[in-house]
Structure 1
Amino acid sequence: MKPYQQIAIDECGEPLVPIPPEHFAFEIPHPYQKLGAPYYNSKADSPYYLRQGVIDSLIAAQTQLQQNHPKWKILIFDAYRPVEVQQFMVDYTFNQIALAQGCDFPVSEDKRQVIIEHVYQFWAVPSMDTTTPPPHSTGAALDITLVDENNRRIDMGSPIDEISERSYPDYFANSNHPQEQPHHRHRQILKNAMINAGFQQHPNEWWHFCLGDQMWAWLTNQNNSGSQLIARYGRY
């Protein structure tokens, strides 16, 4: 169990609704659908759904971003993710790492444990327990980046879903390399817009933000000595 999964959930019952296309850019076709992830049993007809309150705050983040960068947009890479899709992507990532390391299949138990621990540094456990839902399965978490007026991605220094330390939000913070310094600046622009709109950022992933789920409550509580928050969004 990860620390944030100890946070209690008081489900508010807010609906899962489509992200309005007029406000944002989208990763089309969706990256996990291209791999064959099983969305066909999903409660939404695409991955681009979030809880209504999360969308309201995301629109506020877009407004905040465009105050200083009027031609930039938030690009939605991924949003709502059923637990079945979470399991598919954990398995896919495990197999990709095992192949890259030259492992024989089936992978030995010792090696399997090492790889799966590495996977779970970045991917949430695909738990079916309603008290420990994967963040994306609540409709309160999303993976995003930025694009310019020509719909070209702003360079963040590493791709979304990379399993490495380069994914840590502040990885480039102390770099003296002139080609790497803009990476941290771009990440900070994204982070500031999202944090000012009420989101929290995943400690290991520059692209993952959440609002209202267990991770959001846990991260907020780390900086709050007063009353402790609980989650308002559980598994959808």
Structure 2
Amino acid sequence: MSAFDVVVIAKEPRPRYAKTRLTPPYTPGEAAALAEAALTDTLAAVAGSPAAVRTVCLAGRPGPWLPAGVRVTGQRGDGLAERLAHAFDDAHAGRPVVLIGMDTPQVTPGLLAAAGDALRTHDAVFGPATDGGFWLLGLREPDPALLRGVPMSRADTGARQLARLRGAGLAVAKAPELTDVDTAADAALVAAQAPGGAFAAAFHRYRREAPA
């Protein structure tokens, strides 16, 4: 197993700030509770992984959801691509870096370990998301140019990011495709995939039907 670091890029789970696309059908408070549960499960997976250093790159302030042993850095830069580039740059300490978001609470320590292990033989590891984006990006040697200018939050974001990596001549390993929690329908799907986690518990506590 190779040494690697993990970064979770996240928003403080407070009402009208995190997971706003869940409203409606969820209230802002319920959406924030689902966001906190997703972040809790994500950080539990990170804590259970063999990462050397675990970091949350946070927009907002830490809360009781932050476990011991996880360092916090602030997000910086204009636009998501810039913030991701800076998150890699700020975390890099000579080891490969695996970056994920807070939107895939079904992630497991094993998935993170496999991503880190893939960076022994590949320059990058890429985890596509079902909405056309990506949920994981790992780089053996982080380089801001690999992210800057890639249009984010679009149906072709993942394809464009993967093309950027391959266009730079990198050998890219693929991680399994996962679903980001963006909508009520996503929430139902992910809660079913990880029924034992905090996110599933919150989903069943506040369950709402997806808008038609």
Q: Above 0.5 in TM-score? A: no
In the superposition, the TM-score normalised over structure 2's length comes to 0.34
In the superposition, the TM-score normalised over structure 1's length comes to 0.31
**As a proportion of its length, which structure holds more strand?**
2
Larger radius of gyration: 1
